[in-house]
Each structure stands twice: as structure tokens, then as C-alpha cells.
């Protein structure tokens, strides 16, 4: 017989000091979650909270459960992996409007379309709070912030609309001040099998205070909030004298007064299984629909994945990791294949490879002996030539003039403080000019150069230089000092001449 699990809010309160701004709506959400979890009868060790980046994402620290404070926007991805690995866990994603719908928009969509069995709580304060008050994806048109000083011109995203479009099977909305209603929605979301998405309209007292005032203030919310109940008419108002009816001409809901023209029987019944009605409700801001907007039962991603695994096991038996490693995607290189490769290498100009070095040296030293000799020498011994440098904003005709004047095949591109920014070689120019009508008097070096080139310090071994120039087919290799200032450049010809002379 199963033992009844008795937990309280205190069981889910961690020993960490809660650090949000005084008056922040996050406090109410945290308290509601801690009060709701004991109702589920699930052991503490079965809960996992995953967050991204933002004020809301401190949440896992304040829950005495397993948790991950992950990276920006990726919380749904980590949560998906956790749930698939252990379907018995109750996995919660804590995110904000910026974290979820900006950099994390892609991950929210895929969690929804897969119908992963997760509970996503999106705190929507219509602002970037942690980074001190910039425009967020949910900020209304006209919002003036540090990043939109003249007012936003962007159409905002509506979290409920995004969740519905992604394929989430439980979509709801609530407000941070309505703790009782919020707790019930969280409870129903936790019982739901599939992607449960709850938008929580949350107040940021510092950077966007009063964003939801029309819906959260005691004096206003009765006339502006529509509390949805399955199977009941969608009525609202302090006197319950307003309701929604379908306007076929406009293709949406319209607000009507219950009286002479419309009776309670005319008011549309809320059907949370209707995706069409759910989308229409997601477009409203008067009244503001609150509660469970959409809920249906569909197969979850976990059920599909584990079902498929069991089906394959039934057909093929238990898998073997060794067999997986050595299946048809592996091969054995034979001596005959090595001879063919050697023959091909002899037909191709490899500029500088180990066979070429052996030929230059006229010796048959074992590969290990050659490597040992090269490793004992440094680039300082090679005495690289002083580099010819150029600025990225210089014109390409000047770069070609320098190459011809000095008889070299590469220039190092440096910043005003002489840090290495790139390299421009004859190959770069040929690749970009061949077959094109380009006026080299009009384009800059920056448009042609290779950025972030591989560079080696003076104390690097000659063997390391050989590795880069043979394996990566580099013809020129910059040499830098400890400040990343270029002090030389090595060409494949320089390296070959050095090896002939010293080995």
C-alpha cells in the first residue's frame, strides 16, 4: 500500500535569501508554486525546476528541489532532455518574456510542437528587468524604454498566441496578484499530460510599474477581466452584465451588454477544447481572458519516444553499445589503401607535408625521430621575417602595391593598437576577385581579409608550425608576442629552407 506523502510549503522553501526588488510580483508567484506542489502528492526529489536568464530565472535557487539555472532561452531544451531521460519527474520551466520569446523563441516553439510533458511558467512584465529596462518582445507599440526612447514601433508578441501556434495542449493565463486562481491553474497544469503553458502577468515595480494595472487593480479588474470556466457563458463585469458573442462579420468575439438585445443565452459558452475559440481569445485585451484558455489530450513526446524504444526492443532485442560503436559506419584502412593514398599525394601539390620534408632532407629517418627534432626547436630559432602590416580600412590597391614592392604573398592586418585582426593573402584576393568586376581602388582590406587567423607565439615549436601548415594547408603563419602584436610571419618556403639548412 502506497504511503501518503504529506508536504507543506516549508518543504519547498530553500535556505537561500530571496533577492528580488521589494514589491516584485515574483514573490507572489514563488509563494503560489510552493503552496501548490504539496497538493500533487509527489515526493520532493521528483521535482526539477529549470530556468534561463532574467529576474525570474533565479527561481530554482529559492526552491528546495532539484534545479538548473541554465543559459539564455535554452531552458526548454534542458527540460526536454531531463523529462525524456526520466519521465517520472515533474519538470517545470521558469522563464520571462525576454528569455522565452526573444532568444528562446525557437526552443519554446519546438517544446510545444513536440508536446513535451513540461510545465512552463512565463513571467510577462513586458520589459527587460535584469538588464535595466529595455524593450522586450511583449512591450506594446509606443512603449518608451532605454532601447526605444521614441516609442516602440514593433507589433508585440502575445505569449498565449505563440503557445497555441506552437501546439501546446494546455494554455492558460493569470495575474500575479490573483494567488488563489493562479494556484488552481498551476495545479491543473501539473496534472495535465503534455506541454502546459501558463502566462503570468507580472508587475516590475522598477522598470515597468503598472503595466497590468487595468487588470490587476481591485477597482478595475472586475470590469476588465474575463474569468473563463469550461462549459459556462463568457460573462464579466462588476454586475456580470457584459459578455462575448461571436461576430461572424468581423471574424472574432465582440463585447455586448446583457439586457434587451442580448440575453445570457446568447453569450458564447467557453469551450477549452476549441482551438479556433482559443485563438480568438488570445487576440483580446478587453476583456482580458484569464484561466484555462485551451486544453486537449494528445500523445506526448515522451510516450512516443519510449513507445518507439520498446517497439524496437521487441523486434531486435536489447541493444549492445559495442555493436553500435562498430557498426557499418566504421571501416578499416588497409595497406593497399595506404599505397593508393601515397600515390595520390605524389600527384598533388601539398606545398609542405612530411613526405616532402623527407625528400628535401634526403633521409629516411623514422617519423618519430623527425617529430622529436622539430619539437625541440622553436619559432625563435627560425627567425621569422618582420611582418609587413596594413590597416583594415586601407584600400586593396595599396595592399597589392605593398605585396609587389616587398615581394611577399601575405600582409598582416592590425588594429590601431597593433593587435592582429586578420591576414590577407594572394589566395584571398584570387578567391574574391576571380570572375568578378571589382574595382580594387574602391574596396578595403577588411572586405578581403581572413579574420581571426591562426597565430603562434615565438616560443611555439617548429613541429606545431609544420602541423598547421601541412594539415590546414596554410602558406603563411603569423607569429605574435605575448601582447598578441605580430612580430613575424612564416611562409612555407621559409620553413622548407630552414629545415634543409638545420636538419
* 444-503 pLDDT per residue, tens: 888 888 887 888 887 788 887 787 777 777 788 888 887 778 888 888 777 777 777 766
Cis upstream peptide for 396 (omega within 30°): no
Residue 249 lies in a domain: no
Q: Does 288 lie in the same domain as 358?
A: no
Work out the average pLDDT over 3-23: 92
Residue 79 lies in a domain: yes
Residue 247 lies in a domain: no
Helix (H, G, I), strand (E, B) or coil at 224: helix
Q: Does 494 lie in the same domain as 409?
A: yes
Residue 260 lies in a domain: no
pLDDT for the residue 368: 55
Q: Does 194 lie in the same domain as 130?
A: yes
Residue 360 lies in a domain: yes
- Is the distance from CB of 130 to CB of 51 less than 8 angstroms? no
Q: Does 109 lie in the same domain as 36?
A: yes
Q: Does 112 lie in the same domain as 37?
A: yes
Cα separation, 33 vs 196, whole angstroms: 15
Q: How confident is the model at residue 207 (pLDDT cuts 50, 70, 90)?
A: very high
Residue 259 lies in a domain: no
Residue 42 lies in a domain: yes
- Is the distance from CB of 272 to CB of 293 less than 8 angstroms? yes
Q: Does 469 lie in the same domain as 393?
A: yes
Cα separation, 104 vs 268, whole angstroms: 35
- What cell was used for 484? 598578441
Beta strand 288-295 with 389-390 is unpaired
Question: Which of 98-107, 344-353, 423-432 is predicted with the least confidence, judged by mean pLDDT?
Answer: 344-353
Cα separation, 409 vs 490, whole angstroms: 11
Q: What is the CA radius of gyration of the chain?
A: 33
Q: Does 495 lie in the same domain as 355?
A: yes
- Is the distance from CB of 386 to CB of 488 less than 8 angstroms? yes
Cα separation, 480 vs 267, whole angstroms: 77
Residue 112 lies in a domain: yes
- In the predicted structure, residue 360 carries a pLDDT above the cut 60: no
Among the listed residues 285, 273, 308, the one whose alpha carbon sits nearest the alpha carbon of residue 84:
308
Domain residue limits at 415: 349-502
Cα separation, 445 vs 425, whole angstroms: 11
- What cell was used for 436? 568578378
- In the predicted structure, residue 362 carries a pLDDT above the cut 90: no
- What cell was used for 312? 524496437
Cα separation, 252 vs 240, whole angstroms: 21
Q: Does 376 lie in the same domain as 275?
A: no
Q: Does 402 lie in the same domain as 293?
A: no
Element (H, E) at 462: helix 462-471
Q: Does 383 lie in the same domain as 276?
A: no
Q: How many domains does the chain have?
A: 2
Element (H, E) at 236: strand 235-236
Residue with the bigger pLDDT between 438 and 28: it is: 28
Q: Does 357 lie in the same domain as 275?
A: no
Cell numbers 616560443 correspond to: 459
pLDDT, one tens digit per residue, over 77-100 is 999 999 999 999 999 999 999 999
Among the listed residues 284, 287, 83, the one whose alpha carbon sits nearest the alpha carbon of residue 196:
83
pLDDT, one tens digit per residue, over 53-63 is 999 999 999 99
Residue with the bigger pLDDT between 68 and 384: it is: 68
Q: Tell if the pTM clears 0.75, that is, is over it.
A: no
Question: What's the CATH code of the domain at 365?
Answer: 3.10.580.10
Q: What is the mean pLDDT of the chain?
A: 87
Question: What's the CATH code of the domain at 109?
Answer: 3.40.50.970
Helix (H, G, I), strand (E, B) or coil at 493: helix
Q: Does 354 lie in the same domain as 296?
A: no
Amino acid at each position: 500500500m502506497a504511503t501518503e506523502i504529506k508536504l507543506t510549503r516549508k518543504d519547498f522553501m530553500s535556505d537561500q535569501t530571496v533577492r528580488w526588488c521589494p514589491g516584485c510580483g515574483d514573490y507572489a508567484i514563488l509563494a503560489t508554486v510552493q503552496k501548490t506542489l504539496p497538493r500533487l502528492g509527489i515526493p520532493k526529489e521528483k521535482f526539477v525546476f529549470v530556468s534561463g536568464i532574467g529576474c525570474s530565472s533565479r527561481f530554482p535557487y529559492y526552491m528546495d528541489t532539484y534545479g538548473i539555472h541554465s543559459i539564455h532561452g535554452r531552458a526548454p531544451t534542458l527540460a526536454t532532455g531531463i523529462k525524456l531521460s526520466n519521465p517520472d519527474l515533474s519538470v517545470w520551466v521558469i522563464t520571462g518574456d525576454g528569455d522565452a520569446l526573444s532568444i528562446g523563441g525557437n526552443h519554446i516553439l519546438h517544446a510545444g510542437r513536440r508536446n513535451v510533458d513540461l510545465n512552463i511558467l512565463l513571467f510577462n512584465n513586458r520589459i527587460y528587468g535584469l538588464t535595466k529596462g529595455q524593450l522586450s518582445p511583449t512591450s506594446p507599440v509606443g512603449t518608451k524604454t532605454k532601447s526605444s526612447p521614441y516609442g516602440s514601433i514593433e507589433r508585440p508578441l502575445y505569449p498565449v498566441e505563440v503557445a497555441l501556434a506552437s501546439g501546446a495542449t494546455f494554455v492558460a493565463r493569470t495575474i500575479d496578484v490573483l494567488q488563489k486562481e493562479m494556484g488552481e491553474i498551476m495545479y491543473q497544469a501539473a496534472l495535465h499530460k503534455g506541454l502546459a503553458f501558463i502566462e503570468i502577468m507580472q508587475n516590475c515595480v522598477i522598470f515597468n510599474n503598472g503595466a497590468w494595472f487595468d487588470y490587476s487593480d481591485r477597482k478595475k479588474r472586475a470590469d476588465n477581466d474575463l474569468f473563463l470556466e469550461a462549459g459556462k457563458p463568457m460573462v464579466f463585469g462588476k454586475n456580470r452584465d457584459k459578455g462575448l458573442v461571436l461576430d461572424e462579420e468581423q471574424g472574432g468575439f465582440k463585447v455586448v451588454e446583457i439586457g434587451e438585445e442580448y440575453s445570457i443565452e446568447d453569450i458564447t459558452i467557453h469551450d477549452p477544447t476549441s482551438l479556433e475559440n482559443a485563438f480568438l481569445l488570445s487576440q483580446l485585451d478587453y476583456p482580458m481572458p484569464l484561466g484555462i484558455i485551451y486544453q486537449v489530450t494528445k500523445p506526448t513526446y515522451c510516450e512516443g519516444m519510449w513507445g518507439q524504444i520498446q517497439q524496437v526492443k521487441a523486434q531486435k532485442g536489447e541493444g549492445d553499445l559495442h555493436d553500435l560503436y562498430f557498426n557499418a559506419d566504421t571501416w578499416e584502412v588497409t595497406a593497399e589503401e595506404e599505397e593508393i593514398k601515397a600515390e595520390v599525394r605524389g600527384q598533388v601539390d601539398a606545398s609542405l607535408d612530411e613526405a616532402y620534408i623527407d625528400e628535401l632532407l634526403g633521409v629516411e629517418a623514422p617519423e618519430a625521430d623527425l617529430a622529436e627534432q622539430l619539437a625541440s626547436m622553436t619559432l625563435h630559432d627560425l627567425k621569422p621575417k618582420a611582418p609587413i602590416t596594413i590597416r583594415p580600412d586601407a584600400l586593396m590597391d595599396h595592399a597589392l602595391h605593398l605585396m609587389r614592392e616587398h615581394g611577399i604573398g601575405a600582409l598582416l592586418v592590425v588594429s590601431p593598437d597593433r593587435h592582429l585582426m586578420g591576414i590577407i593573402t594572394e589566395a584571398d584576393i584570387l578567391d574574391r576577385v576571380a570572375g568578378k568586376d571589382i574595382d580594387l581602388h574602391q574596396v578595403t582590406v577588411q572586405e578581403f581579409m581572413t579574420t581571426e587567423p591562426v597565430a603562434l607565439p615565438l616560443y611555439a615549436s617548429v613541429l606545431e608550425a609544420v602541423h598547421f601548415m601541412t594539415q590546414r594547408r596554410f602558406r603563411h603563419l603569423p607569429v605574435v608576442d605575448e601582447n598578441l602584436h605580430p612580430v613575424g610571419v612564416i611562409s612555407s618556403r621559409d620553413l622548407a629552407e630552414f629545415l634543409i639548412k638545420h636538419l
